[in-house]
Chains A and B, each alone.
Chain A
Amino acid sequence: MVDMNTWFSIQQLYADYASALDSGQWDLWPEFFTEQCVYKLQPRENFERGFPLCTLLLTSKGMLKDRVYGIQETLYHDPYYQRHVVGAPMVRKVEDGRIHSEANYAVFRTKFDKESTVFNVGRYIDTIVQTPDGFKFAERLCVYDSEMIPNSIIYPI
């Protein structure tokens, strides 16, 4: 469906994304997306039952930047580390240069003085496009199995 180089670039995009989010440098996050992007964090229950509600619904790169500002300046929270483990991407189809691919993910959370716990588990359902700056997410939908959010989700998945 895609050639080796393309597949390698997709793999690299996923790895770079996970690495950026685990670094805690939140300003890096919006740069993985196009200007008109869609980022959704949605419970599997809503996704499968056709309910549109998301835990986070951001429909432009500007909104992602506003979320970053919220994380840094406005949302009071217990600080934590997060660690993403992302499975191999599965390319579902390529249409008009848009690559539709998916990957499983698990995010572990570690709070100060606490053990590491499984925080959020699910799959990414993505639309990736080529831009002058390389591959970017036109859409990233994070559909999570985790039935109960352990209190709150502050940082991006």
Chain B
Amino acid sequence: MREQAIHWETDGTSRVPFAVYTDEDRHKKELERFFYKNHWSYVGLEAEIPNAGDFKRTVVGERSVIMTRGNDGQIHVVENVCAHRGMQFCRERHGNKKEFVCPYHQWSYSLQGDLQGVPFRRGVRQDGKVNGGMPADFDPKDHGLTPLKVATRGGVVFASFDHAVESLEDYMGPTILQYFDRLFNGRKLVVLGYNRQRIPGNWKLMQENIKDPYHPGLLHTWFVTFGLWRADNKSELRMDAHHRHAAMVSTRGSAGQATGQAAQVTQVSSFKESMQLNDPSFLDIVPEPWWQMGDKMPTAVMMTLFPSVIFQQQVNSVSTRHIQPDGHGAFDFVWTHFGFEDDTPEMTERRLRQSNLFGPAGFVSADDGEVIEFSQQAFETKPEHRMLVELGGRDVGETDHMVTETLIRGMYAYWRKVMEA
């Protein structure tokens, strides 16, 4: 690794060097340390592969993997790299198979990746002699597809190349786990569909976007005008002990103009006092019992699980957002919207209509991709510079408000610990 030198202006992380986003060698080191060792990555939902033989191709970091359901109902994740010549043999994105066969030389594998067949392994008999074949000590057991460690919880599937990784529960930590379990509380999930976008910016910027409660009430007119996410909403910012994961928790306040001291939050240019929807069904919000947490009823919980995924609850719209890096300067962002098995048809309709706010064309998400692109453009032109994340101070800690960038500082405290080790 010969990454460019990096200069942090302070001991803390309130000034993040542009160089953390611009260097290909540093990016490879991140993949190694965050995606391939010691961490869990999101790979999908159990509901995507309900039956034996079902599979879905996806990625962990930049490596292609296949999530399968074996004949025993167990979920397996194997790397999409043939043990023979290394070809990424699985080209379909989903389907159902009895086994995997690499077409190049027809090596075949079971659904859990065990090597089953090698053509001409014992040679080809011709004119009384045996030609070729694999060496006598060739043992198929040593040449399966690379298996990943798998953990499932609440219908969500995670995988890790690192078989020594801590348990998924320890990885999340008790604080984040309670928000995870609130959303994925054991009900069967129903996949509503996908949206895929390619964002020309460093993958960490998407984690930061959902660790930044400062921007939604400013950049996103819909949030501030309709009270969905606003600086005067009752809110909490929570983190795991390592400060790598976070939950931004908010309860919808009043729509429209704020009064008194709170009026500052609606004196921003993105607040549109006169904005009226021609069709209010975009915001036909119906509270659901599972939102309840103790005496609170959060209307939005945005979870960042470092490094690979975001779990979204924004009123009735729930989704997973998978971050799939591709080099230091771009990532693919895959949204899987879902509902629950006990949803009424009206609730499904409502989730689908509210999904207009999110995704690559969403009223409050399309511009997140745009600002990430324009940030990356600037980073590339002057990697020696740095950004400022000092709202709410320079330290890292949980808060009972959202006027702070503490979660971004927390993520970089963890990043420094791992990358500088």
Contact = CB atoms under 8 A, between A and B. Distances in A.
Interface in B337-359: 337, 348, 352-353, 355-356, 359
A106 interface: no
B374 A78 contact: yes
Contacts of B374: 78
Contact of A152 (B93, B270, B361): B361
Contacts of A57: 352-353, 355-356
B169 interface: no
A53 B194 CA distance: 7
Interface stretch (B77-85, B104-112, B195-203, B230-238): B195-203
Main secondary structure of the interface of B (DSSP, over half): mixed
A66 B360 contact: no
A58 B220 CA distance: 20
Contact of B373 (A56, A63, A151): A151
B191 A51 contact: yes
Interface stretch (A7-15, A68-76, A88-96, A131-139): A68-76
B193 A151 contact: no
A59 B191 CA distance: 21
A120 to B, nearest CB: 10
Interface stretch (A21-29, A40-48, A97-105): A40-48
A5 interface: no
A76 B363 contact: no
Contacts of A69: 275
Given A55-B359, A74-B221, A78-B374, A147 B278 contact: no
A63 B370 contact: no
Contacts of A148: 196-198, 332
B168 interface: no
A23 to B, nearest CB: 20
A153 B365 CA distance: 11
Interface string A125-157: 000000000000000000000011111111000
Nearest to B197: A149
B363 A75 contact: yes
Interface in B370-414: 370-371, 373-374
Determine which residue in B199, B356, B373, B374 has the highest number of CB atoms from chain A within 10 A of its CB, and name it. Answer: B356
Contact of A58 (B192, B356, B371): B356
Interface of B: 93, 191-200, 219-222, 270, 272, 275, 277-279, 281-282, 332, 337, 348, 352-353, 355-356, 359-361, 363, 366-367, 369-371, 373-374
A63 B193 contact: no
A46 B355 CA distance: 14
A43 B275 contact: no
B337 A152 contact: no
A94 B265 CA distance: 54
B42 to A, nearest CB: 18
A38 to B, nearest CB: 12
Contact of A52 (B195, B198, B279, B348): B348
A108 B195 CA distance: 20
Contact of A77 (B193, B221, B348, B367): B367
A151 B369 contact: yes
Nearest to B335: A53
Contacts of A59: 279, 281, 353
Contacts of B193: 43, 45-46, 49, 51-54
A150 to B, nearest CB: 6
B370 A66 contact: no
B360 A152 contact: yes
A141 to B, nearest CB: 14
A60 B194 contact: no
19 contacts: A46-B193, A52-B193, A53-B352, A55-B360, A57-B353, A62-B278, A62-B279, A66-B277, A66-B278, A69-B275, A74-B222, A74-B270, A74-B272, A78-B374, A147-B196, A148-B332, A149-B196, A150-B197, A153-B366
